[in-house]
Copies of this chain bind each other. A is one copy, B any other.
């Protein structure tokens, strides 16, 4: 009876990429039934999940009757096209390019370096211990955020949020990175513009509801 599409979302409580989809669904007034995939128990590597995403990555969004959609940026673009209001991209071509570029600085050039499969490879193949992994995390989160901070601080399009005074995909991805940094207790340092924007994002219900510690499976 409803025109609202029915979604399932394969999710893990602290997954940064899952946070992005949760926040975007919330912003657009859409809902998904979450299916918990326990990364710590290796459930993402079981045949039934690899049939959904052979890379074993979370999240995957499934609209009833359609094939699963994987890759968080592809899911954000899908949701934007499915439900254009409120928009998560500006209208002008160069504004859209800027938002997508800011988002990719973290979603493509930062976060993929910091996922469990990378940790596993470095521990088993390169003898990286916990302290060295921690240094790797701090380095690459810090590198991505420092570059983003420089752009946000100097580019005139930055407003209350990453691009003007409206929430965009860039904010969704930024918040997703800071959410997982909070989980790992890695502070963001020397990022005053990012800190200011995050304070605004933290005040929004769509982001608060996506917080890792409010999800199924999170530690009490």
Contacts and interface: CB of A to CB of B under 8 A. Distances in A.
Q: Report, nearest first, the 10 A-B pairs whose CB atoms are least far apart.
A: A74-B100, A71-B104, A54-B147, A74-B101, A78-B97, A108-B108, A54-B150, A55-B147, A71-B101, A69-B97
Given A54-B150, A67-B155, A105-B55, A122 B126 contact: yes
Contacts of A2: none
Interface residues on A, range: 35 or more
Interface of A: 53-55, 57, 63, 66-67, 69-71, 73-75, 77-78, 81-82, 93-94, 96-98, 100-101, 103-105, 107-109, 112-113, 118, 121-122, 125-128, 132, 135-136, 139, 143-144, 146-147, 150-151, 155
A121 B132 CA distance: 12
Contacts of A71: 100-101, 104-105, 108-109
Nearest to A109: B112
28 contacts: A53-B147, A55-B147, A57-B109, A66-B94, A69-B97, A69-B98, A69-B101, A71-B101, A71-B104, A71-B105, A71-B109, A73-B73, A73-B100, A73-B108, A74-B100, A74-B101, A75-B97, A77-B97, A78-B96, A81-B96, A82-B93, A108-B108, A112-B112, A112-B113, A113-B113, A125-B132, A125-B135, A126-B128
Nearest to A156: B67
Contacts of A128: 126
Contacts of A53: 147
Contacts of A143: 55
